[in-house]
Amino acid sequence: MVVRGLNLTGFRNYKTLSAKFSPSCNWIIGSNGQGKTNLVEAIHYLCNLESFRTRKTTILLNTGSCATRLVGEVERNSVLHKIDITVNEKGRRVLLDHKVLQRTSEYMLSFASLAFAPEGVSLFRNQPQERRRFFNRTLSLLDSTHLADLQSYKEVLGQKNILLKKQQREAEIKPWNELLARYGVSITKKRQKFVAQVNETLSSVFQELTGREDALELQYEPALRSWDKGEGSVLHEIESSLERERQYGHALVGPHRDDYRMQLGERRDREFFSQGEYRITYLSLKLCINSVLIKKTGNHPVIILDDLFSELDQRVVNHTISTLEKMENQVFITSTTLPQGGAVHGEKIQIIQGRIVE
């Protein structure tokens, strides 16, 4: 997938902007506070219908404007699509090739960008729900049935929680537990498989970027201990926590309580990772997700690297650049300066006060 061009009206600090991009590497260069992140945020919004730094869409509107418009030309499988998004205080309207888009999920499976941004670097420091949200979204890009399973699971969980709050009898809750066991096994298996796919290359990507020898592993901590023993065992596991669930008034066992961790050698993330290690392990994870996406879908997501070089040492910076140059994805990198030493490939776009300077 390639974003060929973008027109913005009233987006963040851009009154208007019209830009064309290279299908390979695009360097967005400028001093602090000029609009580099805002530009890649708009590209990410065009690809994913969400920002990587806020869920409040009204913040995207240029101060004083009542709406913002993003119009992009996006190429996918050699076909050029026109995407026209308007966001105002009431909501959002998306036109894909001049037709109103009804379902966000269809769009998500068609267009995608992967962002590496300072906000995401805290993923393994944040609450588990942030990680579940991140991995749910990533897995849904790979498998549309996963999204459907998640939605069904959530609905059933809601029903069960209502019954638990009303202190209903076990017989009333049983059919919901059976459904939770079915969807729970399916969701857990997919998460397990995905994590195994990521781990096939995670260590080697990390070692290539850093020159270090430690093994890097993404660890999946499923809440269902018996997930690999079949639905019967899982149902038994869920049912055996009924008393506790009644006390708390909500369901305590199932993939809505899963977690993910990172381990570098013998050291686990929250207790031991340095600032730079959070960044570089997160970057390695993103690059592995990119490989899994390409292998599974044949599509190359747009890669966005915001403020890539802060807190990374020179060796990691050099290796990251050479890794990016080998990739077939379209890449956007924001930085206050071009990296030192040697020419960089691709297009350079200079931003000053919300404008592109030729």
Ligand X SMILES: Nc1ncnc2c1ncn2[C@@H]1O[C@H](COP(=O)(O)OP(=O)(O)OP(=O)(O)O)[C@@H](O)[C@H]1O
Closest CB 302 distance from Mg ion, rounded Å: 18
Is residue 34 at the binding interface for ligand X, with CB under 6 A as the rule? yes
Member of 17, 21, 27, 36 binding ligand X (CB under 6 A): 36
Q: Using the CB atoms, write b or e for 260-275: b if 16+ within 10 Å.
A: bebbbeeeebeeebee
Strands 347-352 and 25-29: parallel
51 binds Mg ion (CB under 5 A): no
Instruction: Tell whether residue 56 is a contact of ligand X (CB under 6 A).
Output: no
According to CB under 6 A, which one of 8, 25, 26, 30 is a site residue for ligand X?
30
To ligand X, the closest distance from the beta carbon of 333 in angstroms equals 12
Nearest CB to Mg ion, comparing residues 37 and 110: 37
Contacts of 43 (CB under 8 A, 6+ apart): 3, 6, 72, 113, 302, 304, 332
* Alpha carbons 299 and 357: distance in angstroms, whole number: 32
Q: Does 51 bind ligand X (CB under 6 A)?
A: no
Q: Which residues lie across from 28 on neighbouring strands?
A: 334, 349
- Residue 203: count of CB within 10 angstroms of its CB: 17
The interface partner of residue 35, options being Mg ion, ligand X, none and the CB cut-off 5 to 8 Å by kind, is: ligand X
Phi-psi region of 62 (alpha: psi -120 to 50; beta: other; left: phi over 0): beta
| CA separation for the pair 189, 195 (Å, rounded) | 10
The only residue of 26, 48, 62, 197 in contact with ligand X, by rule CB under 6 A: 62
Query: Binding to ligand X by residue 37, rule CB under 6 A?
Result: yes
- Contact status: 18 vs ligand X (CB under 6 A): no
Angle at 112 between CA 100 and CA 117, to 5 degrees: 125
- Name the minimum Å distance from CB 130 to ligand X: 21
Q: Which of 6, 17, 27, 38 binds ligand X (CB under 6 A)?
A: 38
What is the residue whose two structure tokens read 């690297």? 305
**Contact between residue 337 and residue 302 where contact means Cβ atoms under 8 Å apart:** no
Distance (Å, whole) CA 349 – CA 332: 10
Please, which residue, 32 or 340, has the CB nearer to ligand X?
A: 32
33 scored as a contact of ligand X (CB under 6 A): yes
**What are the residues facing 68 on neighbouring strands?**
87
Rounded to a whole number of angstroms, the minimum distance from the CB of residue 230 to ligand X is: 50
Tokens representing residue 298 in the block: 């044949």
Count of residues in contact with ligand X, rule CB under 6 A: 16
Per-residue tokens: 296: 């599974």
Q: Which is nearer to ligand X, 56 or 169 (by Cβ)?
A: 56
Whole-angstrom Cα distance, residue 116 to residue 53?
A: 11
Which of the choices Mg ion, ligand X, none does residue 32 contact, using the CB cut-off of 5 to 8 A by kind? ligand X
Least distance between Mg ion and beta carbon 277 (Å): 22
Give 35 or 72: the residue with its C-beta nearer to ligand X: 35
37 contacts Mg ion (rule: CB under 5 A): yes
Tokens of 198: 């990521």
In the range 313-342, which residues lie near ligand X by CB under 6 A?
A: 336
CB of 269 to Mg ion, least distance (A): 25
Residue 90 Cβ, how far from ligand X at the closest point, in Å? 17
Told to check if 34 binds Mg ion by CB under 5 A, we report no
Residue 111 and residue 74 in contact, taking contact as beta carbons nearer than 8 Å: yes
Return all residues near 20 (Cβ < 8 A) that are at least 6 apart.
4, 5
Residue placing its CB nearer to Mg ion in the complex, 53 or 193: 53
Residue among 164 and 351 whose Cβ is closer to ligand X: 351
Q: Is residue 305 close enough to count as binding ligand X by CB under 6 A?
A: no
Between the alpha carbon of residue 98 and those of residues 81, 83, 102, 174, 289, the distances in Å are 9, 8, 12, 48, 31
* Residues near Mg ion (CB under 5 A): 37
Residues that bind ligand X (CB under 6 A): 12-13, 30, 32-38, 59, 61-63, 307, 336
